[in-house]
């Protein structure tokens, strides 16, 4: 059974018993009040009848009294009986005399005082054709001024039909009020149950989505109660889980990357070694053949081509070994603008050859940075070379250097941008992978090497680019000591 159903059931049960109990109490009191009123009314009627008949009664004028009484009898006042001093029936309306049980008996005690009275409820059936109904019987003593003993008494029988009708109506009204109260209560309970269970339902749904691995869930609740708090801690938990998962994914990626680099490194190193020795002997042999005086022009040309090929292979092997070698950083304090200056100088020929507009914007008073100068130069060279290769003749390359604060860590941000051919979206991730190249003459090691070096320095390298619009490489290098 759901919480909502259980809540509703218990509230309905509670309301029913509460409304029931309250109605019962009210009904009892109402009935009591109505009856008391009826009694008072009866005593008043009796007093009235005594007043009306006092004179004939004092003179024992039975006919006088009875003719008065017969006139008075109606649907409400069923009978009136006068009793004498010894409680004997003296006069009564005509119809009642045949009901001996009522007529003969006076119910008053001997020692009654003025104001005392007797009352009883009894069933009465005036004839066989009529259903019996309830009457209220009231007997009041008659006292005469000056006399110490009572003169007699008057007993009246009042029909309770009207009173019962009134009670029935009162009960109906109470029942209606109870019904409305019950309905309002149940509707309120349904509304409340919905308010309470809706956020719980939301929580359950979110938990299920989390269990399926969707951590992006945030529960929007505007309640400030315990459930609101629960939702808040739930949101905090999912946020932390998401962060933890993201951290784990990054760590995993790094680990895989490192593994990959290490195995590529090992493989490259062994390939390079295998190639090196035979290559040297091929080179020596070619040189020996070249020394021969019998060679014609055609043979010399082809030997030169072979030598060029060997130079290319040697360059690749050198690059490969350079990439594969894991060396300790040789850290010293360097000025990054100066390293940049040296790199640009090395590339000045290529820059002028392609008529490239080179611009730099270096922030003043940049701190010295503890880096391996040779390696950072390699990074600048690799990226600048790529930029030179990417731009058309007369293209633009710009370098910006400025201090940067990343999560409280002081860094230097270097941006190297060009307006060259740009990088296709699908290649943005892969350009840092070893051996990825789109160039016929490239080895695909420049950026892989750059990333390796920057990460070794505790920094990071990113690229943003749009095809045909150019590329921007952003490097962050921490200023301080690394652990």
Ligand X SMILES: Nc1ncnc2c1ncn2[C@@H]1O[C@H](COP(=O)(O)OP(=O)(O)OP(=O)(O)O)[C@@H](O)[C@H]1O
In the complex, which residues of this chain contact ligand X (CB under 6 A)? 382, 386-387, 390, 418, 420-423, 431, 436-439, 442-448, 471
Q: Which of the choices Mg ion, ligand X, none does residue 160 contact, using the CB cut-off of 5 to 8 A by kind?
A: none
Kindly state whether residue 386 participates in binding Mg ion, applying the rule CB under 5 A: yes
Q: Is there a contact between 421 and 438 (Cβ–Cβ < 8 Å)?
A: no
CB neighbour list of residue 358: distance below 8 Å, 6 or more residues apart:
344, 351, 396, 397, 398, 399
Q: Smallest distance from the beta carbon of 229 to ligand X, in angstroms? A: 52
CB nearer to ligand X: pick between 238 and 378: 378
CB nearer to Mg ion: pick between 65 and 431: 431
CA angle (230, 233, 236) in 5-degree steps: 150
| Element of type H or E holding 351 | helix 348-353
CB nearer to Mg ion: pick between 140 and 421: 421
Q: Smallest distance from the beta carbon of 417 to Mg ion, in angstroms? A: 16
The SS3 assignment for 158 reads strand
Please give the structure tokens belonging to residue 355.
Answer: 């008529």
CB nearer to Mg ion: pick between 102 and 448: 448
CB nearer to ligand X: pick between 38 and 382: 382
23-82 residues near Mg ion, rule: CB under 5 A: none
- Of all residues in the shown chain, the one whose CB is closest to Mg ion is 446
CB nearer to ligand X: pick between 75 and 440: 440
Q: Smallest distance from the beta carbon of 439 to Mg ion, in angstroms? A: 7
Q: Is there a contact between 91 and 72 (Cβ–Cβ < 8 Å)?
A: no
- Judged by CB under 5 A, the number of residues near Mg ion is 2
Alpha helices in 120-225 (DSSP H): 161-211
Q: Smallest distance from the beta carbon of 446 to ligand X, in angstroms? A: 3
Distance of alpha carbon 389 from alpha carbon 446, whole angstroms: 12
Q: How far is CA 100 from CA 86, 105, 122, 154, in A?
A: 17, 8, 14, 16
Q: Smallest distance from the beta carbon of 250 to Mg ion, in angstroms? A: 26
* Contact stretch for Mg ion (CB under 5 A) within 41-49, 159-167, 245-253, 384-392: 384-392
Q: Give which of 337, 351, 300, 331 is closest to 458, Cα–Cα.
A: 331
Among 152, 157, 420, 446, binds Mg ion (CB under 5 A): 446
Question: What order of strands is seen across the sheet that includes strand 460-466?
Answer: 357-362, 396-406, 409-418, 470-478, 460-466
CB nearer to Mg ion: pick between 411 and 445: 445
CB nearer to Mg ion: pick between 265 and 446: 446
* Contact stretch for Mg ion (CB under 5 A) within 61-69, 274-282, 378-386, 420-428: 378-386
Q: Smallest distance from the beta carbon of 451 to ligand X, in angstroms? A: 9
Distance of alpha carbon 363 from alpha carbon 361, whole angstroms: 7
DSSP H helix total and E strand total for the chain: 10, 12
Distance of alpha carbon 311 from alpha carbon 315, whole angstroms: 6
Kindly state whether residue 434 participates in binding Mg ion, applying the rule CB under 5 A: no
| Element of type H or E holding 142 | strand 133-143
Q: Which of the choices ligand X, Mg ion, none does residue 84 contact, using the CB cut-off of 5 to 8 A by kind?
A: none
Distance of alpha carbon 432 from alpha carbon 424, whole angstroms: 14
Q: Smallest distance from the beta carbon of 312 to ligand X, in angstroms? A: 12
Q: Which of the choices Mg ion, ligand X, none does residue 215 contact, using the CB cut-off of 5 to 8 A by kind?
A: none
Distance of alpha carbon 286 from alpha carbon 313, whole angstroms: 15
Please give the structure tokens belonging to residue 169.
Answer: 């109506």
CB nearer to Mg ion: pick between 445 and 476: 445
Q: Which of the choices ligand X, Mg ion, none does residue 8 contact, using the CB cut-off of 5 to 8 A by kind?
A: none
Q: Which of the choices Mg ion, ligand X, none does residue 126 contact, using the CB cut-off of 5 to 8 A by kind?
A: none
Binding interface with Mg ion (CB under 5 A): 386, 446
């Amino acid at each position: 059974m759901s919480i909502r159903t259980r809540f509703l059931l218990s509230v309905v049960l509670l309301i029913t018993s509460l409304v029931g109990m309250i109605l019962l109490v009210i009904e009892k009191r109402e009935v009591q009040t109505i009856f008391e009123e009826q009694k008072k009314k009866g005593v008043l009627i009796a007093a009235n009848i005594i007043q009306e008949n006092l004179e004939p009664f004092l003179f024992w004028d039975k006919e006088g009294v009875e003719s008065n009484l017969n006139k008075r009898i109606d649907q409400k006042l069923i009978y009136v009986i006068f009793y004498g001093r010894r409680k004997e029936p003296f006069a009564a309306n005509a119809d009642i005399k045949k009901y001996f049980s009522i007529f003969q008996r006076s119910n008053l005690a001997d020692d009654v005082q003025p104001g005392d009275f007797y009352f009883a409820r009894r069933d009465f059936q005036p004839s066989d054709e009529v259903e019996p109904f309830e009457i209220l019987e009231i007997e009041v003593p008659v006292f005469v001024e000056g006399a110490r003993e009572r003169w007699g008494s008057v007993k009246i029988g009042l029909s309770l039909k009207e009173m019962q009708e009134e009670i029935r109506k009162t009960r109906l009204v109470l029942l209606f009020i109870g019904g409305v109260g019950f309905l309002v209560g149940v509707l309120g309970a349904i509304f409340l149950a919905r308010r309470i269970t809706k956020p719980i339902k939301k929580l359950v749904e979110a938990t299920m989505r989390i269990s399926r691995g969707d951590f992006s869930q945030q529960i929007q609740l505007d309640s400030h109660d315990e459930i609101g708090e629960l939702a808040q801690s739930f949101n905090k938990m999912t946020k932390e889980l998401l962060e933890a998962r993201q951290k784990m994914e990054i760590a995993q990626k790094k680990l895989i990357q490192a593994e990959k680099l290490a195995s590529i490194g090992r493989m490259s190193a062994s390939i390079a070694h295998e190639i090196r020795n035979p290559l040297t002997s091929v080179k020596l042999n070619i040189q020996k053949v070249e020394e021969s005086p019998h060679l014609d022009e055609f043979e010399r040309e082809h030997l030169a081509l072979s030598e060029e090929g060997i130079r290319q292979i040697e360059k690749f092997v050198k690059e490969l070994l350079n990439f594969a070698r894991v060396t300790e950083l040789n850290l010293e304090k360097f000025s990054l603008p100066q390293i940049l200056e040296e790199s640009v100088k090395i590339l000045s020929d290529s820059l002028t050859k392609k008529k490239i507009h080179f611009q730099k914007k270096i922030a003043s008073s940049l701190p010295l940075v503890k880096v391996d100068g040779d390696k950072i130069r390699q990074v600048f060279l690799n990226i600048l070379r790529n930029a030179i290769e990417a731009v058309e003749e007369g293209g633009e390359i710009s370098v910006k250097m400025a201090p940067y604060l990343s999560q409280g860590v002081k860094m230097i941000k270097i941006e190297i941008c060009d307006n060259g051919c740009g990088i296709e979206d699908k290649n943005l991730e892969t350009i840092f992978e070893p051996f990825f190249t789109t160039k016929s003459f490239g080895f695909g090691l420049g950026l892989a090497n750059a990333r390796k070096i920057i990460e070794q320095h505790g920094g990071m390298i990113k690229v943003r680019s749009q095809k045909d619009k150019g590329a921007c490489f952003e490097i962050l290098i921490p200023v301080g000591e690394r652990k």
